[in-house]
Structure 1
Amino acid sequence: MPDAVVVGAGQNGLVAANVLADAGWDVLVLEAQPEPGGAVRSDRGVHPGYVSDLCSAFYPLGVASPAMRALGLERHGLRWRHAPAVLAHPLPDGRCAVLERDPDATAAGLEALGAGDGEAWLRLYGLWERMGEELLRALFTPFPPVRPVPALAAAARRAGAPAGGVLGVLRTLLSPVRALGEREFAGPGGPLLLAGSTLHTDLTPESTGGAAFGWLLAMAGQRYGWPVPEGGAGELTAALVRRLEAAGGRVRCGTPVASVIVRDGRALGVRTAGGEPIRAAKAVLADVSAPALYGGLVAWEHLPARLREQMRRFDLDPATFKVDWALTAPIPWTSPGAARAGTVHLAPDLDALTRYGADLATGRVPAEPFALLGQMTTADPTRSPAGTESVWAYTHVPHRVRGDAGPDGITGAWDARERAALADRLEGIVERLAPGFRDRIAARRIVAPPDWAEHNASLPGGALNGGTSLPHQQLVFRPVPGLGRAETPVAGLFLASASAHPGGGVHGGCGTNAARAALAHASPAGRLVLTPALEALRRALTG
């Protein structure tokens, strides 16, 4: 009997398993798919000579988050690679905003796009240098972040002294990213670098709190880069598995879990889809989406009645449409800066990002999709033969399509015609900025919303962040109103996926928090004090 059973071998499940194994627990990880990794996997399915990442690809938070850094994965074979430039946003007129590895180089490029914009960028980066590390520690700590708050408050007070201290900093980060960009910058470059980073979530340029997401991702990129694992995203997973096995943990793939076994309000283990019961002596950790856990792996009869209504209000982030390409040569960008970047954001201007968000909000497939594009061979030459490029791009679409803002009549059936139509729409966006792009396509693979759950049940429709990133489902509201912690209403069961605080991204924070919660509740003090105290507080907060 293992001490802990972890359901799901995504990055959060594997991080949780490693933390438990480091504490001396016997850990068994059960994964439904034939291989571990979840959204952190790679293959050669587009072309045998090209490595393509199935989902996530660039990892600024993978190198920035304290949770992931603490694992020391570089000692287990992980090697990070960087493109010459971090991020680019090419403009229709041939100019390009580029996030360089060197802050002064980034500032110089932005200054060429708007007078004073270089100084504005360095001012925002200075804010990161004064409080970024403390913010990361607070962000990836179980809510409420009691220990990191004093240090974060002191750093914010120093950082925000010219503009209202802590409250001034908080006001800045809670701003819509459009407001921050237009207030700080004269030209288009700075606002687009920040807004494009915000749109890695499902926030729009006008969303409250969008500035925090855009600033955090852009500044993490300025400090750490947006690196990739050498050899493919799957190498990050492989390092996590090697580390776990070295600590005595085990991973069983091809073993879907059908249910969590609950008796007298406590999780005793799991039952596999094949009917095998597996007991857990101390805890069950679930690296699955909140809707898959509540009312799925755990039947409603074992859960408080109010949770069913709360989960009915749980909001997913939008669906995802992705295209992978094998190119015979690098993309022939009109803007040279775009050719040097690992990640490229595609939208003509800030207003186009707003229209894109409005289309998604009204259930329409965007006419001008905002696309995130990855030039993987530029970042890691091992991804394809010399002189070629492994590329992907993705955009978001509604889960329920009410119409097509573009000309193709896409309905959300996602048959062969609709898949090809939206893939062609994305290719057209690249072609306008890089004439001749289509002539270099040797092969392509289309991943439409229905395809995601086939290789990862935690990504329904391609909801990549485990639930919306909007403020109403963050902190104490994630995944439902309560404490914003990994604990669930079932004793000994912990939510370890991106549906828990701190949410989406490959940072391991959700898994680490779940593991630490399991360790705390399994201790004598936890059983006598922590468990009943948190349950009483949760009941008081949720009624």
Structure 2
Amino acid sequence: MKLDAIIVGSGINGLVAAVHLLSKGWKVAVYEAASLPGGAVKSGEYIEPGFLHDWAAMNLSLFAGSAFHQKYGEELAECGLEFASAAHCFASVFPDGTWLGVSNDAAVNAARISKISENDANTWRDLTDGFGKQAEAIFAILGSPMGVGGLGKLFWSLLRKLKPTGLSDLGRFLMTSPRSWLDNTFENGKVKAMLAAWGMHLDFAPDTAGGALFPYLEGMANQAFGMALGKGGAQCLTDSLVALIERKGGQVICNSKVVEILTEKGRARSIVLESGEEVQAKKAIIANLAPSGLARLTGDTGDETFDQKIAKYEHAPGTMMIHLALDGPLEWSAGKELQSFAYVHIAPSLDQMAKTYTQAKANLLPDEPVIVVGQPTAIDSSRAPDGRHVLWLQVRMVPGTIQGDAAGIITATDWEIAKIEMAERAFDLIEAHAPGLRAKTISSRVVGP
């Protein structure tokens, strides 16, 4: 097989790369160790017939708003991609029985905030007014080629638009932690916590430098565009990408584990499959893998600096997934309106989120982890039988290797055992805000990090 490019791993970034290169006339094949493509972006009836659960990724908004989707969206729609749009995007619940959330209506959001802080409501209105200009600059940075030439061109473009002061302010913002930005922007702790929860989705705890972007961007973007879920499950995104790859003459080859990437004179030349077969690429080998996974395949590349850096790469804490099939919607104590939100966060304060992150980084099971309660059937009723619901839970953050329990209760250090007890901890946290969760549960599935 004569290929221009080999892509290792069929996660979304790998599939997107394949579409791009095929559109340029390259011959491309994607090799995937698992039996199905998609990585974290897949769906299935994992616990009960008729109940469709997203394996990990549920929110597809970043993809829906991407330059890639803008370019290939029509073709992907022809291949089956369809979104279900959430008008009520995310909310947080608090110990005093209240909630605060963001919908796709700026006036509604400002009114909610004004009930607890008129100053913060005015700040929210100001952020809303300035989002268009800020978003243009931020998305230009996120979408820029990472080479010196591309970044240099971007720098001069932004300098002309923003002037030195504006560019300096943007640079500081991009390096700022969530807590620093939130403390300098808002006065009410609930507003801060509602937005800071988004940092935890991307492993940016309140005091992690460079994390302020995500609470800001998710708050403003969800308000401006709503949240996009995959109609019938996130699997529709993976399926449409695979179909488009095949339409363009490419291949996605599953059950084909790559065990080695061979290099020659500092360049990747071929892959070796578990079967022993060697496949060469004329132009590129692209690894859609975590850095530690890439290091296992390349071994000593001959580039000492690269090898040292990849060996020292530090991964963020892990996430535990829980899938539930329910016989009815959650009964949120803070208000029935919460049933219509795609996400409800149980993350009451910046200090609690920071503590959770510190405990997980110390290889301890957090005593009060952040819980992301995904309610996909509130947006897309096709995912469950009539009157029934799917619940998608993320327990963030947890350690990859357990050395203890911050609460001093769970003694297991094997995730296959500890995940059951950790799930009960998560259920307790949810029951405190939505009594009756366990009684509504038909069946469940817990996946360790």
Any residues of structure 2 matched to 1:6-155 within 5 Å, and which?
Answer: 6-72=7-73, 73-144=76-147, 145-155=151-161
* Contact 1:227/1:379, CA 8 A, preserved across alignment: no
Contact persistence 1:121–1:190 (CA under 8 A):
no
Determine the C-alpha separation between the residues in 2 that align with 1:167 and 1:81.
38
Number of the residue aligned with 1:425: 425
The residue type equivalent to 1:25 in the other structure is W
Question: Secondary structure at 2:48's aligned position in 1?
Answer: coil
- Structure 1 359/264 Cα, relative in aligned 2: closer, same or farther at 3 Å? closer
Quote the residue 1:178 is aligned against. 179
State the distance in 1 between where 2:420 and 2:9 align.
32
Offset at 1:155?
A: 4.7
* 1:177-256 paired onto structure 2 within 5 Å: 177-256=178-257
Q: In 2, are the aligned partners of 1:20 and 1:27 still within 8 Å (CA)? A: yes
- Name which of structure 1's ranges 97-106 and 67-76 shifts more when overlaid on structure 2: 67-76
For the 8 Å contact 1:194–1:211, the answer to whether it is kept is: no
Aligned to 2:379: 379
Q: For the Cα contact (< 8 Å) 1:51–1:390, is it kept in 2?
A: yes
Local SS of the residue matching 1:71 = helix
Alignment partner, residue 465 of structure 1: none
Structure 1 residues 167 and 267, CA gap change in structure 2 (3 angstroms): closer
| CA distance 1:305–1:175, shift in 2 (3 Å) | closer
Structure 1 distance, partners of 2:211, 2:284, is 36
- Cα displacement (A) at 1:16: 0.5
Distance 1:193 1:413 in 2: 33
* Aligned position for 1:359: 359
Q: Secondary structure at the match of 2:282?
A: coil
CA contact (8 A) 1:82 1:342 kept: no
Q: Deviations over 1:196-250 (max 9, x none)?
A: 1111122221222221222122222222222111011111001111111111111
Q: Hey, what's the Cα distance between the residues in 1 that align with 2:188 and 2:283? A: 56
Q: List per-residue Cα deviations over 1:328-357 (Å, max 9, x = no partner).
A: 101111123421210111122232212212
Cα distance in 2 for residues equivalent to 1:154 and 1:74? 38
Query: Which residue of the partner structure matches residue 391 of structure 2?
Result: 391
Unaligned ranges ≥5, structure 1: 450-543
Which one-letter code corresponds to 1:361 in the other structure? K
Q: Quick one: which amino acid aligns to residue 148 of structure 1?
A: L
- The structure-2 alpha-carbon separation of the partners of 1:264 and 1:169, relative to structure 1 and needing over 3 Å to count, comes to closer
Q: Map residues 488-507 of structure 1 onto 2, 5 A cutoff.
A: none
Superposition pairs of residues 276-291 of structure 1, within 5 angstroms: 276-291=277-292
170-179 vs 4-13, which moves further: 170-179
Partner in structure 2 of residue 486 of structure 1: none
Shift of 1:278: 1.6
Query: 2:321 maps to which residue?
Result: 322
Change (3 A) 1:223 1:155: farther
Task: State the secondary structure of the residue aligned to 2:342.
Answer: strand
Cα distance in 2, alignment partners of residues 308 and 260 from structure 1: 14
Aligned length: 441
Give aligned-pair identity as a percent.
29
For residues 348 and 106 of structure 2, what CA distance do their matches in structure 1 show?
A: 24
Whether the aligned pair in 1 keeps the contact of 2:60 and 2:234 (CA below 8 Å) is no
Q: Which moved more, 1:169-178 or 1:209-218?
A: 169-178
Q: Structure 2: which amino acid aligns with 1:55?
A: A
After TM superposition, the score normalised by the length of structure 1 is 0.77
**Corresponding position of 1:402:** 403
Q: Which string of whole-angstrom CA distances, capped at 9 and with x for unpartnered residues, describes residues 246-295 of structure 1?
A: 1111111111112123334333322211011222222211112222222x
**Pair 1:165-2:199 in alignment:** no
CA distance in 1, matches of 2:343, 2:191: 16
Q: Distance in 1 between matches of 2:20 and 2:407?
A: 48
Which residue identity lines up with residue 158 of structure 2 in the other structure? L
Structure 2 residues not aligned, in runs of 5+: none
Match in the other structure for 2:348: 348
CA RMSD of aligned residues (A): 1.9
Distance across 1 between alignment mates of 2:211 and 2:119: 23
| Alignment CA distance shift 1:123-1:74 (3 Å) | farther
1:443 partner letter: S
CA distance in 1 between counterparts of 2:229 and 2:71 reads 18
Q: What is the CA–CA distance in structure 1 between the aligned matches of 2:219 and 2:154, rounded to whole Å?
A: 22
Between 1:183-192 and 1:207-216, the stretch displaced more is 183-192
Q: Kindly state the Cα deviation for residue 154 of structure 1 after the two structures are TM-superposed.
A: 4.5
The structure that is strand-richer by fraction is: 2
Cα distance change of structure 1 residues 148 and 126 upon mapping to structure 2, 3 Å threshold: farther
